[in-house]
Structure 1
Amino acid sequence: MKTLGLKGVDITKATGVSSGGVSQWVNGITKPNGAKLLALSKILQCQPDWLLYGKGDPKEYDTPSVVPISIQNRVPVISWVQAGEWTAIVDHFQPGDADEWQETTAKVGSNAFALHVQGDSMVNPSGSPSIPEGSIVIVDPDTVVDNGKIVVARLEESSEATLKKLVIDGPHRYLKPLNPDYRPIQINGNCTIVGVVRQVIFNL
């Protein structure tokens, strides 16, 4: 921090973390994760892995190139209950049925939708990919479902959809949270995959 001429207040502004939280990072009491880890590595101009584990060259930081962003589509922001019923209601869904619309740069089909992420089950303490609470996911039901994809799915016993990583291990399938504090859910015929996440939108 001193080498870059930074103060604690600069870290606080860049990451949105309180001064007490920054102090805990500095003293090794807690570790940054998700979007906060990326924001911290950016302002300190180093790799996230070096911050967490001391691996690699701390000076190696790849500044993302700035490219023009093209808005591909606008999709309705729906509730998690609506997402669970999406295959049944999508054909009858009208533009006026959505109170909010989200622009997306992802190439998605006409049945795509957006969701506000709730909870921290998809916050990855190891870094990327990580989907923090409050972010918006763009979901496309027309994208091919495959192993390792982040999906929105509905379990038979629930009226709401859930956001998880699909893991296929031989004959076994799981919905796996990115947060290791949560347990994977084994699925078989009791689950409907509603769609695949094509984009995650959040503010640092």
Structure 2
Amino acid sequence: MTNHNVLTFAQRLNTICDEQGIPVRGRARYLQENLPYRLSLTGIRKWLIGEAIPETSKLINIAELLGTTVECLLGSRHTQEIKQPEISHHSSSVITANTTPEESTRNFKPLAKHQSRVLPLLTPDQVLKQSIASLPIRSVTKWITVSDDIPAQAFAMQVDGNSMCNPNGFPSIPEGSTVIIEPGHEIQHGKIVVVTDYHSNDYVSVKKLEIDGPHQLLVSLNTIYPPLEFDTDRFRIIGYVKQIMMTL
């Protein structure tokens, strides 16, 4: 990540915080207390002064909290080009003459109505890396807009091949479709899952998981492909398909 990108992110982050009415004093603490993970104040201050930039998953949460988009935070779009969320001029806090700036910042809750969020659109190779560790934000070059009921930790992937193209109707995932994937590892009957193969460095596949007595099978919706025995010593579930997006 270049110094220019880090400084651009810091500038955009502070600009959006200003637009949301989040005071400069106590800004780092506000982010710390309202983001869904533990972070040190020192680490967050580095974002604000242009010394560091968050990982992909954290960047998505920051955009959601501030009612903006990842593109805007990264500087690929100007803030005035983004439709700002509807924000009440009244915060949920009660501020008195004895309230300190830090307390007013901690209590400040912008009342935004989120309509959508952006997710990283990953290649199969990036999905493999995402399943092992957090993917560096600099490696993500494409993003996709989805509805805000999709979890912020989700990601998107374009499907290769026709093994999930169902000749008999729905559900069907034609080649070239984009699937929205929610990370997860549990074995659940009937779920459409994304799996990797411990024995292969480049295997990422979408299958339907079916459990029939003692048998656990990875089934293709295209019946010309035989099912695979789901062996936990070989296959690993990295997520579930939450949504299918395609161009007609």
Question: 2:187 & 2:152 partners in 1: Cα distance?
Answer: 17
The structure whose residues are more often helix, as a share, is: 2
User: 1:145·1:196 contact (CA, 8 Å) conserved in 2?
Assistant: no
- The whole-number CA distance in structure 1 between the counterparts of 2:187 and 2:117 is 21
TM-superposed deviation, 1:139: 0.2
Match of 2:231 among 160, 171, 188: 188
Map residues 8-157 of structure 1 onto 2, 5 A cutoff.
Answer: 71-90=115-134, 93-105=135-147, 107-142=149-184, 145-157=187-199
Residue of 192, 197, 204 corresponding to 1:161: 204
Stretch deviating more after TM superposition (123-132 or 103-112): 103-112
> Where does structure 2 lack aligned partners over 5 or more consecutive residues?
1-113
Q: In the alignment, is the contact (CA less than 8 A) between 2:186 and 2:237 conserved in 1?
A: no
For 2:198 and 2:152, how far apart are their aligned partners in 1?
Answer: 26
2:177–2:245: 8 Å Cα contact kept in structure 1? Answer: yes
Q: Output the amino acid matched with 2:225.
A: Y
Shift of 1:103: 1.1
Q: Residue in 2 aligned with 1:43?
A: none
Displacement of 1:144 in angstroms is 5.7
Contact 1:86 1:194 in 2 (8 A): no
Report if the CA contact (8 A) 2:180-2:243 is conserved: yes
Shift >6 Å, 4+ stretches: none
Structure 1: distance between partners of 2:241 and 2:155:
10
TM (norm. structure 1) is 0.60
Q: Which moved more, 1:135-144 or 1:159-168?
A: 135-144
Show structure 1 runs of 5+ residues with no match: 1-69
CA deviation digits over 1:24-46, x for unaligned, max 9? Answer: xxxxxxxxxxxxxxxxxxxxxxx
TM-score by length of 2: 0.50
Separation (CA, whole Å) in 2 of partners of 1:187 and 1:137: 21
Larger RCO: 1 or 2 (CA < 8 Å, sep 6+): 1
Contact 1:152–1:195 (CA<8 Å) still a contact in 2?
A: yes
Greater C-alpha radius of gyration: 2
Question: Any conservation in 1 of the 2:166–2:173 contact (CA below 8 Å)?
Answer: yes
- Which of 223, 233, 241 aligns to 1:197? It is 241
- How far off is 1:71 after superposition? 4.4
Aligned-residue CA RMSD in angstroms? 1.9
User: What is the DSSP-based 3-state SS (H/G/I as helix, E as strand, rest coil) of the residue aligned with 1:139?
Assistant: strand
Contact 2:165 2:174 in 1 (8 A): yes
